[in-house]
Structure 1
Amino acid sequence: MFLSTSFAILVVFSFIVYRYFKYSSSIIERDATKPRRLPTQWLIGIIWTAGLGAFHESIAKLKVKYGDLFAIQLGRGRITVISCTDYVRHILADRNTYDISETTNQKGSSKDGDTLRQAFNDVIKCANRFALMASIPLWIARLRLALDSKFQRALCILRQYVMHIIHAEQKRQCEQQQQRVAKPKTLIASMVAAAENDRLETDSSKASLSPTELFDEVSLSMVAGFETTSTALSWFFFFMSKYPDVQAKIKEELYRHGLTSDAILTLEDLDELVYMECVMKEILRYAPITAGIVRQATRDDVINDIIVKKGDIFLIATQNMHRDPRYWKIDPMKFLPERFLDEDKHPTPYAYMPFGGGHRACIGQDLALFEFKIAITRLMQRITIEDAGNEANNSGGFIQRITCFPKHVAVRVYMDSDAKLPA
């Protein structure tokens, strides 16, 4: 009797809470001539955060049902999902109204190779859990990180290394300034110089970084390349095992430019590998590597006829646009690197954004593409990747964390010899 009564009370309470959130977040202006508040799919948010499928799969299904613009309620937070280039252009072009969301900033209280590597791994694992805590208030998620001893220990190690890099660069720039030597054009040098300008100058119109922002930016430039590049390489192995004709064309291009296994790569050689670059672009388009782009409204706005409130979070579903037939001339559901040679060489603006867009686009995208191209070129100079067939599970699938990587990859790797290259 007690259990049945408790269960009934729980059901009634859950229904009341559901109706409250549904009503409070779904008020629509009935006058069609006036802007309206986008209705919130509150229950969908609960289902989504339950971990049913990978992120891009869930968002693609919701897009089919609710269209290019829909809102979901995650706990007390509201996220608007966007899958249309017109809306994306509005958000990314207005840097004064839409900026990076605070839900993407993991603030903590802020030996050698192995120690740093382990610290990176621990930070990534904890960041994965943080990213999946979107259904609870942000302060609780941050409290969870603050009480996580492994994360705090890893963050401490990371802070030591990053601050050592920053202090060494500050010292070097100070010495160069005294000797009047030309400043090097490196990412870290530019960020440190910006922080120094903030400390020495009072002109608020100049771009500058606070010490906290400097630490965050240097750390992010290290951590971001740690996971995304390895994820892209994982997808490369999987796709090469499934598309041997693509792999054969890569090797043919390498042979045509004389890039055998013992050849030394130069920048000129890499620039000549046009088909290789198409393969890279297609992997970044077809594979759901990153979760999407997050922006937060810093003030009220109106998108088309939709009211935007200050603090609203927008999730730009890049994978939806990467596979939207409205924006691609060749079937976007097919893995075809050749699309970037002709018909889809110049995609619709904002339809292809593997590195984000706007003023918050990935600052390391050129470096990431450069190292990705070197890595797969060196691999294709020396090895052949084949599907393991029925002997192993090479079915792909998805594991969703900060990045989305293949779940089942089992391939055979053979070392090439010059005799096997095409005549």
Structure 2
Amino acid sequence: MACLPGLACAAVEDPVSAAALDLKPILSALLRHKVVLVLLVLVIALSCGVVSNSVFLMSLHLKRLHLPAGFEESQLVEIDADNLLIPGSDEAKRHTREALDALRQLPSVKDVALSNLVPLDYSAFFPGYVALNEKDAASRSGVLVAVYGGQDLASTLGLRLVAGRWLNPLGFVDYADVFKSGSQAAPAEALITRALAERVWPGENPLGKPFYFTGGKPPTVVVGVVEHLPRPVLFGEGEEDFSIVLPVRMWLDDGAYYLIRTEAGERQRVLHAAVDTLHRLDPHVAIIAQRPLTDARAEQLGKDLAMARMLAGLCVTLLLITGLGIVGLSSYWVQQRRRQIGVRRALGATRTDILRYFMLENFLLTSLGVVLGMALAYGLSMLLMRYYELPRLPWFYFPLGALALWTTGQLAVLVPALRASTISPAAAAAG
């Protein structure tokens, strides 16, 4: 039996054979609408490429929402205070000791530290580069890390030691002596996070290993490994925990932050009492910021949540546009082939035959767009790697994007295909 233009031959009992017979007239019909075909394929390819990468980026942002802090955030508060003390003066050191002693005497305060950084608080970030030789450290080609410093910082945060020992209290040196311009001094020892240890010395015991964190200084030796200590600013997949803790002593004139560990449920009361205490000790002190650490985390990770929602909206929008395009095109083709569908029904084609024809036609069209879309997804991934230092798009996101487009295509064509399958044989006579 000869095939009608634009439609497959009439009823064939074997579904596989029927699908094979459908291919030739489907391809013939598609090639007669080259411009529309190219436009729709490009839309599908764009959607596939963007959706694959967007879903991957969305997973990275959502992953950060569950980033372990390594300490009990619900018991910690921070205070950013500024003053007019002369840098390096004895007065600054005296004020520091008085302030720390007064804060430790407050009810419900378990520990206090003065730190140069606050975990998960992007308002400050002091970077360094951990390298295995001085040349790499000087050229900043090592591993980018957050450099924490401050006496009692580990105990105040409640960090968990997984290997080695804590920093020697007698080995602390002044922050300014290490980081002032032209200084050759370097701390003799340091704590590092487990994630950083696995990155710098994969599969090795990091204890006792020397490293350089800046050029022109002697090496520093790893004496302990803590489970987690996130950087103030989160960036880089798998690098959020790249931090070191140096035995440096902070003073108020170093631009430090007060970190206060409280009893459970006492954060707000302690925070207000601490601010009042600082004002009492120095009426000219300026409190720049005061908040629980959970607020700092929520503020930073809230941006990740917002970005994830934006990417999800982008994916839904692209899939919706693609689906609407398929619905419109399929509805147009059904209307154009109404008489041909009626003839085929008159020759014995079932509703299932008509439905299968349009579903297969859409599948072929979508598959062509998916092939181009996978190439686009790979290209976009390479650009993101080069310019934004993001990891390579994992292989399983390619079939995931393809599945999303195939599903969208089949759902979009379903209504026009069902409408086509209801056309009666009388439509052939109607013309």
Query: TM-score range with shorter-chain normalisation?
Result: under 0.3
**Over alpha carbons, which structure has the higher Rg?**
2
TM-score (norm 2): 0.23
TM-score (norm 1): 0.23
